[in-house]
Amino acid sequence: MKKLINHPEAVVDEMLDGMAAAHPDLLKRLPGSSVIVRKNAPVQGKVGLVSGGGSGHEPAHGGYVGSGMLDAAVAGEVFTSPAPDQILQAIKAADGGRGVLLIIKNYAGDVMNFDMTAELAEVEGIPVKRVIVNDDVALKNKQSGERRGIAGTVFVHKIAGAWAEAGASLEEVHRIAEKTVRHVRTMGVALTPCTVPAVGKPGFSLGENEMEVGMGIHGEPGIMRRSLMTSDEVAVDLLNHILEDLPVKEGDQVSVLVNSLGATPQMELYILNRKISKCLQDKGIHVFSTHIGEFMTSLEMAGCSLTLLRLDDELRKGLEAPANTAAWVQA
Amino acid sequence: MKKLINHPEAVVDEMLDGMAAAHPDLLKRLPGSSVIVRKNAPVQGKVGLVSGGGSGHEPAHGGYVGSGMLDAAVAGEVFTSPAPDQILQAIKAADGGRGVLLIIKNYAGDVMNFDMTAELAEVEGIPVKRVIVNDDVALKNKQSGERRGIAGTVFVHKIAGAWAEAGASLEEVHRIAEKTVRHVRTMGVALTPCTVPAVGKPGFSLGENEMEVGMGIHGEPGIMRRSLMTSDEVAVDLLNHILEDLPVKEGDQVSVLVNSLGATPQMELYILNRKISKCLQDKGIHVFSTHIGEFMTSLEMAGCSLTLLRLDDELRKGLEAPANTAAWVQA
């Protein structure tokens, strides 16, 4: 295992310290916890937004803590759901008197721990609503309830965060977050595995000329393992899977997010976007904005995911509102 | 070679198209060229800023084209200096009537081609000045004229870009860019090699437990090959090399940039920053801002670099001014 770390068991703890040290103007670490909160949290009179999950997906989710996005992010161990006591600290830190929305990626452990904590918070008098993100169309033949939450989650942070910042009520922010989930789809490909530090060896293996289509962000199996495709073939394949599932018609407006899983260079992301952009243009679908980079990673996995978000006025307003976080700045 | 590309010979051309398609609000590609220019270039009455070099270092340099940073970026083939005719197109596109500053990383081919083109531009009546960035202290025993330019270049883009945007003259922007170079130092470590697409195999090899200290961004040899160090050891080592060379004393203010060479996860960058931040605090050096992510990469190389910039009022003002580019947004 070739990593720039100290102790495999300390990676999350040390990362959180390093993050707090890097961005004191934006965020802080709640002492003794694995919770990153907005510097001025709780913001009185604003709905609080909390997300989180296993670590190893950076900048998700601490990188999205700041004005216009999240109020708090809870970090579990690598690829492991955070514990309820940590989530409860995040909810309390985020509550500015108008309730808290939990943005949860659809994994059994995350859903169970966030749900359990939501009940504890309600007992303590904090109104809590939750939205479960399940954007991964690689599992489209399953019920949407079984789909995983991946990079589309970042659009939910951005849009719900903007409306919360604008003063919307918990019910409104929840409704808009739910709508964002209905409008967003993602699918990815992996070229190499990644290694969880505490495990010390790759979670799976791929042959020299193999790729996995539809792989999850923890290395969950996809829908097909096959020989390496060209970038253009990957672009068409991901786009087709998404458009089979997401109703987008000529004249509609979308936002595109091309996400590196960790080791894939920006050069390759831009080459992929070239074809995606052409295909959408050919279909008469208007691209409102394109976001290229690392948004929801899997440590040092090589590969990428494509996310499409179908916009309406409400979602577009949320997307174009200002934000100031470590990983997403919008003037 | 496991890359998401189409044809190894087409990567730069297709990347530039994908970049133009992604950010039409910020930039465009000059038709038939390998030049990315600011959307509204030339900005009349503003000093133009041009940078560039071999591709494979994305987001450098196209990702820094936009308001408050570069007016144009010229992309050579991967790890190859751009040709004079391309540089000349960039200079002409960037010239808004007050002259153009060239920001050149210190490599023989880049310096030769940019210098040659500067003469051509002057013949055509465009005043041109140049600054050569040579921030790599891994070569500190050599004359500074032989040092390579690496991630510190991004601070030169940001600070010179801010002053140009504020209306400074070519002489002033040049003076401030030169000062930035005098105040900035970088050093990196590599854990794995990278593969130039047209070559098809890694440029060098490193053993399972080996790292190279001071390696350049094209895989140039560093100052030592050794067994893998812990993150804390790397932080101390890089910082010591930099501080031996850059005069920084207690009470001074610096900005820190922790740059991934491509494949190193943000988790590891933040763990490194934890120690860097502590060491600087122990020395009584104040950190004004910390920048973590991919700024000057080497394709999919694993490893990172640390850059320190010693601030004064002029440099700090340049750093905190607004910018709107694909890779650096500041509100």
Comparing CA positions, the residue from A26, A34, A38 lying closest to residue A54 is: A34
Task: Name the region of B246 (left: φ>0; alpha: ψ -120 to 50; beta: rest).
Answer: beta
**A191: nearest CA in chain B?**
B2
pLDDT at B44 over 70: yes
Gap from A133 CA to chain B (nearest CA, Å):
23
Contact A325, A284 (CB under 8 A): no
**B273: nearest CA in chain A?**
A18
- Interatomic CA distance for residues B91 and B98, integer angstroms: 12
Mean local confidence (pLDDT), B68-92: 98
Residues of chain B in contact with residue A19, where contact means CB-CB under 8 angstroms, are 270, 273
Gap from A303 CA to chain B (nearest CA, Å):
8
Structure tokens given for B7: 């044809």
Mean local confidence (pLDDT), B201-216: 93
Q: CB-CB: which of B4, B268, B299 is closest to A304?
A: B4
Contact B59, B294 (CB under 8 A): yes
CATH: 3.10.180.10, 2.102.10.10, 3.10.50.40, 3.30.1180.20. Which one for B184-320?
3.30.1180.20
Structure tokens given for B239: 């910082």
Tell me what pLDDT residue A38 has: 98
Contact A298, A262 (CB under 8 A): yes
Tell me what pLDDT residue B146 has: 81
Q: What is the DSSP letter of A9?
A: G
Under CATH, what is the fold of the domain B8-182?
Rossmann fold (3.40.50)
Q: CB-CB: which of B15, B63, B304 is closest to A271?
A: B15
Backbone angles phi, psi at B71, to 5 degrees: -95, -30
Give the bridge partners for A212, in sequence order.
Answer: A190, A225
This complex has an ipTM of 0.98
Mean local confidence (pLDDT), B194-216: 94
For B118-129, how does the pLDDT look when each residue is reduced to its tens digit (9 = 90+)? 999 999 999 999
- The domain limits of chain A are 8-182, 184-320
Q: CB-CB: which of B263, B266, B274 is closest to A14?
A: B274
Tell me what pLDDT residue A140 has: 64
Contact A247, A214 (CB under 8 A): no
Catalytic residue among B61, B218, B241, B291: B218
B23, B192, B260, B267, best to mutate vs chain A, most A CBs in 10 Å: B267
- Interatomic CA distance for residues A92 and A37, integer angstroms: 10
Which stretches of chain A score pLDDT less than 50? Answer: none
Residues of chain B in contact with residue A189, where contact means CB-CB under 8 angstroms, are 4
Residues of chain B in contact with residue A264, where contact means CB-CB under 8 angstroms, are 4, 300
Tell me what pLDDT residue A144 has: 63
Comparing CA positions, the residue from A10, A241, A297, A206 lying closest to residue B265 is: A297
CB contact under 8 A, A191 and B302: no
Percent of chain B with pLDDT over 70: 98
Contact A100, A121 (CB under 8 A): yes
Annotate A297-331 with b (16+ C-beta within 10 A) or e (fewer). Answer: bbbbbbbbbbbbbbbeebbbebbbbebbbbbbbbe
pLDDT at B141 over 80: no
Binning pLDDT at 50, 70 and 90, where does residue B219 land?
confident
Q: Tokens 């196209």 — which residue? A: B62
Q: Tokens 């200096």 — which residue? A: B81
Q: CB-CB: which of B19, B302, B324 is closest to A2?
A: B302
Tell me what pLDDT residue B144 has: 63
Residues of chain A in contact with residue B330, where contact means CB-CB under 8 angstroms, are 329, 331
Range B162-165 contact pairs with CB under 8 angstroms and sequence separation of 24 or more: B162/B68, B162/B317, B162/B318, B162/B319, B162/B321, B162/B323, B163/B314, B163/B318, B164/B46, B164/B47, B164/B48, B164/B49, B164/B101, B165/B46, B165/B67, B165/B68, B165/B321
- Interatomic CA distance for residues A231 and A317, integer angstroms: 32
Tallying the residues shown for chain A, one arrives at 331
For A168-209, how does the pLDDT look when each residue is reduced to its tens digit (9 = 90+)? 999 999 999 999 999 999 999 999 999 999 999 999 999 999
pLDDT at B162 over 80: yes
Q: Tokens 């109104």 — which residue? A: A127
| A291 is annotated as an active-site residue | no
- Interatomic CA distance for residues B305 and B307, integer angstroms: 7
Q: Say whether pTM exceeds 0.90.
A: yes
Comparing CA positions, the residue from A259, A292, A321, A327 lying closest to residue A27 is: A327
Give the bridge partners for B315, in sequence order.
Answer: none
Helix and strand numbers (H, E) in chain A are 8, 14
Residues of chain A in contact with residue B5, where contact means CB-CB under 8 angstroms, are 230-231, 268, 271
Comparing CA positions, the residue from A306, A197, A241 lying closest to residue B18 is: A306
Residues of chain A in contact with residue B299, where contact means CB-CB under 8 angstroms, are 265, 267
CB contact under 8 A, B267 and A292: no
| B218 is annotated as an active-site residue | yes
B9, B270, B275, best to mutate vs chain A, most A CBs in 10 Å: B270
In A110-180, beta strands by DSSP E: 128-133
